[in-house]
Structure 1
């Protein structure tokens, strides 16, 4: 009995020590991780809106409400964030919308799209993806993402037979699931953009 109690106390001490150690590690690494994540996101914003001087948080943005708008338009993706792309003189250029697609072959795919006020899509920039190397990971390559750049359409569709117009996207060979996941995510972002434009009238919203 005494041995059982002793072993239990030792195990308890080890557990507490391990917990304190993990807490200390988290405290040390939290800020650097947050900094890296912030820089990664800012780089994504700049990639899809090169001529923007600043990115301002959209006041009163709600991911839940934005995601519902996407859902009402038939998309199951999450609209995680939206910022205003602002010119040096303070005028609004458009929006950068961050989308999480849940339909990737190997899990979620997170990316940001830049949309000008006239609805022209500048393109997208992926910040988190775990698709198959040599297949789905090609969604990060120019040969695929360039198909979305400088296009002004309401909705994109994936094709395996060669695109015939601006709204059609050639699927990545052997990675149709990834191609569709990214394309649907872009469409979800565009659906939210249209709703946002109707609400704001293309005006800069101040915090």
Structure 2
């Protein structure tokens, strides 16, 4: 009886080791292409919100500190990454902040937001979203996203009617929650810029 238990245990151990080796090998094979695809998606988003930039360089920042600051000010959004947008001479002309808004109608929405040195919003580009096609996914379309371009405001506000002030964004019909999630994410980016990036504070 003891011999059978030992035999079965050895077989199970060997099987586990072999399976672990196979999974590790598959991970190593797929990691490179996955990382490359994610980097390509990110670079496309950076360029979409900062067409004047010649290159982008990762900006060093204290992620925990910045997101705690946002949380204290009532934001559920998280700043995932900050890139310095540089011209052909290597001069920083603004920043691209990648934000995850956690209050979308179907979950989180991740997007990049471009902000010039003077605080002007260039717009945003969504990189990941589980929003509903035909409704929340309209946040990726120009009709809605163009409203965010060339805005120089302290805070955006979503309205259902035609905007009467520069800080107002007209909600997507039937997708007010998504509209607010994107606007809140942009507000989190603006707040982070004002508090930590303007004047090279971070």
Same fold by TM (over 0.5)?
yes
Structure 2 counterpart SS, 1:76:
coil
Report what 2:151 is aligned to.
151
Please say if residues 70 and 189 of structure 1, whose CA atoms lie closer than 8 Å, have aligned partners that are also in contact. Answer: no
Structure 2 counterpart SS, 1:69:
helix
Please say if residues 123 and 145 of structure 1, whose CA atoms lie closer than 8 Å, have aligned partners that are also in contact. Answer: yes
The whole-number CA distance in structure 1 between the counterparts of 2:35 and 2:173 is 36
Q: CA deviation at 1:8?
A: 4.7
The whole-number CA distance in structure 2 between the counterparts of 1:15 and 1:173 is 53
The whole-number CA distance in structure 2 between the counterparts of 1:90 and 1:6 is 65
The whole-number CA distance in structure 1 between the counterparts of 2:164 and 2:65 is 35
- Equivalent pairs, count: 201
Report what 2:26 is aligned to.
25
Structure 1 counterpart SS, 2:25:
helix
Q: Which runs of 5+ in 2 are unaligned?
A: none
Report what 1:52 is aligned to.
53
The whole-number CA distance in structure 1 between the counterparts of 2:173 and 2:6 is 62
| TM-score, length of structure 1 as denominator length | 0.89
Report what 1:125 is aligned to.
125
Q: Deviations over 1:98-141 (max 9, x none)?
A: 11111112221111100011111000011111111111111111
The whole-number CA distance in structure 1 between the counterparts of 2:7 and 2:178 is 54
The whole-number CA distance in structure 1 between the counterparts of 2:8 and 2:134 is 51
Structure 1 counterpart SS, 2:51:
coil
| TM-score, length of structure 2 as denominator length | 0.91
Q: Write out aligned runs for 1:40-189 (5 A).
A: 40-59=41-60, 61-189=61-189
Q: CA deviation at 1:197?
A: 3.8
Q: State the superposition RMSD in angstroms.
A: 1.9
Structure 1 counterpart SS, 2:39:
helix
The whole-number CA distance in structure 2 between the counterparts of 1:190 and 1:73 is 13
